[in-house]
Amino acid sequence: MERECLRICDCAPGDRVTIAGTVRSMTLRPKANVPALEIELYDGSGSVHVVWLGRRRIPGIGPGRRLVVTGRLTQLTGEPILYNPRYELKPLAA
State residue 61's pLDDT score.
96
The parent domain of residue 44 ranges over 8-89
Residue 54 lies in a domain: yes
Residue 71 lies in a domain: yes
Residue 94 lies in a domain: no
**H-helix or E-strand containing 65?**
none
More confident residue, 30 or 82: 82
Rounded average pLDDT over 17-35: 92
How many domains are there within the chain?
Answer: 1
Q: What distance in Å separates the CA atoms of residue 14 and residue 17, rounded to the nearest whole number? A: 9
For the chain, the distance separating the N- and C-terminal CA atoms, rounded to the nearest angstrom, is: 22
CATH code assigned at 18? 2.40.50.140
Q: Nearest CA to 47 among 56, 34, 38? A: 38
Residue 60 lies in a domain: yes
State residue 92's pLDDT score.
75
